[in-house]
């Protein structure tokens, strides 16, 4: 099957997921009636969740692809450099100083960016960023920050601090338009740039020296792509919390579908990531109404199950 055909098929699947996402929810309303005036609030709510789902899913998918290629590590994911715990720590510190609402998201974003900067600075040797040090330091900083978060939450007398735990589990319920525009901006700019770097990513995924031997300025490319994918992740974390597993398994699933060539892997991962998140959100909203299960739990359960099945299937084919 040609790549373009595959992308078109995936895109149609995404459209079906969007329609499902609009029609399913904790209240069941026939699809046509959704567009009547008295239901416009519900429609708007569902649409906004779908838009956030698309942005977050696509962003995490692409950012996972980039990290796995740059670190040449199949276990790499968008949070591998400590972005998530940095964001969490930023939010907790913000709350300690009495922030609430949007300022917390700003604190989270700053925390994420600062933690990435810290990891880079620690890992840097001259003008080079060795990937082994980067991975190890990322994991270490993440554990360190998580420890500090739990410590701060446990000693705080502020009840609302427990809310941070829920926030960290992730949700697509974003009511702030400005935050959404910000994420959209980061994800779109990041994705388009990553797509134009797909040849470099292919070469670097073979090995850094291999890439130099194809005339690629590896260190510069790495810096650009690390910064881009970290910014995508940071902006996603600060509006939607930590949604685990998407950035890890979507690239693997999509590689099984379309192969490892980044020119198709990047757009396909964006589409599948978006679709996956919309479907998980439908389950999170409608499984036990009127409660909402944190979407991070759904992505872990469903993503894990799908992935194990896919892995076993491909092994059989071999």
Partner 1 sequence: MPVLRIEKLSGGYGASDVIHDVSFDVEKKDFLGIIGPNGSGKSTLLRLISRILSPAQGSIALQEKDIHRIRLKDLFKEIAFVPQNTIIHFPYTVWEIVLMGRIPHLNRFRSETRKDFEIAERSLALTDSLVLKDKRIDELSAGERQRVLISKALAQEPQVILLDEPTSHLDIGHQIEILSLLRKLNRESGLTVLAVLHDLNLAGEYCNRLILIDKGKIIRQGLPAEVLTYQTIEEVYKTVVVVKENPFSHKPYIILIPK
Contacting positions for partner 1 (CB under 8 A) = 69, 72, 74, 196-197, 199, 202-203, 205-207, 209-210, 212-217, 255, 259-261
Give dist(CA 236, CA 170) in Å, integer.
10
Which of helix, strand or coil describes residue 54?
Answer: helix
Backbone angles phi, psi at 52, to 5 degrees: -65, -40
Instruction: Give which of 275, 83, 52 is closest to 183, Cα–Cα.
Output: 52
Which of helix, strand or coil describes residue 125?
Answer: strand
Q: How far is the CB of 138 from partner 1 (least distance, A)?
A: 19
Burial 94-128 (b: 16+ CB within 10 A, else e): bbeeeeeeeebbbbbbbbbbebbebbbeebeeeee
Q: How far is the CB of 265 from partner 1 (least distance, A)?
A: 9
Give dist(CA 125, CA 85) in Å, integer.
24
Q: How far is the CB of 92 from partner 1 (least distance, A)?
A: 37
Distances (CA, A) of 7 to 19, 215, 263, 270, 275: 19, 30, 11, 10, 13
- 159/209 with CB nearer partner 1: 209
- Can you name the residues that pair with 125 across neighbouring β-strands? 128
- 67/109 with CB nearer partner 1: 67
Q: How far is the CB of 291 from partner 1 (least distance, A)?
A: 41
- 8/206 with CB nearer partner 1: 206
Q: How far is the CB of 261 from partner 1 (least distance, A)?
A: 5
- 257/302 with CB nearer partner 1: 257
Q: Which residues contact 248 (CB under 8 A, 6 or more apart)?
A: 64, 75, 76, 77
Q: How far is the CB of 218 from partner 1 (least distance, A)?
A: 9
- 2/37 with CB nearer partner 1: 2
Q: How far is the CB of 210 from partner 1 (least distance, A)?
A: 7
Give dist(CA 285, CA 289) in Å, integer.
7
- 33/210 with CB nearer partner 1: 210
- 40/220 with CB nearer partner 1: 220
């Amino acid at each position: 099957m040609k790549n373009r055909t595959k992308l078109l098929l995936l895109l149609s699947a995404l459209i079906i997921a969007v329609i499902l996402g609009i029609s399913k929810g904790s209240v069941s309303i026939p699809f046509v009636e959704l567009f009547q005036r008295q239901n416009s609030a519900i429609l708007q709510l569902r649409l906004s969740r779908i838009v956030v789902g698309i942005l977050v899913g696509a962003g995490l998918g692409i950012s996972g692809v980039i990290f796995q290629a740059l670190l040449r590590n199949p276990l790499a994911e968008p949070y591998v450099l400590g972005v998530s715990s940095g964001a969490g720590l930023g939010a907790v510190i913000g709350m300690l100083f009495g922030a609430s609402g949007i300022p917390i998201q700003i604190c989270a974003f700053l925390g994420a960016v600062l933690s990435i900067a810290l990891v880079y600075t620690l890992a840097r040797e001259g003008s080079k960023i060795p990937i082994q040090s980067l991975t190890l330091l990322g994991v270490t900083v993440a554990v360190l920050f998580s420890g500090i978060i739990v410590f701060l939450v446990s000693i705080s007398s502020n009840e609302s601090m427990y809310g941070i735990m829920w926030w960290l589990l992730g949700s697509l319920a974003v009511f702030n338009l400005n935050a959404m525009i910000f994420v959209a901006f980061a994800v779109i700019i990041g994705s388009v740039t990553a797509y134009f770097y797909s040849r470099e990513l292919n070469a670097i995924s073979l090995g850094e020296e291999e890439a130099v031997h194809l005339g690629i300025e590896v260190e510069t490319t790495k810096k650009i792509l690390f910064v881009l994918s970290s910014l995508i992740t940071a902006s996603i974390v600060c509006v939607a919390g930590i949604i685990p597993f998407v950035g890890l398994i979507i690239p693997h699933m999509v590689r099984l579908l379309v192969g490892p060539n980044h020119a198709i892997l990047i757009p396909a991962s964006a589409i599948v990531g978006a679709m996956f998140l919309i479907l998980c959100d439908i389950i999170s909203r409608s499984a036990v109404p009127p409660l909402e299960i944190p979407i991070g739990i759904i992505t872990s359960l469903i993503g894990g199950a799908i992935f194990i099945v896919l892995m076993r299937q491909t092994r059989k084919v071999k």
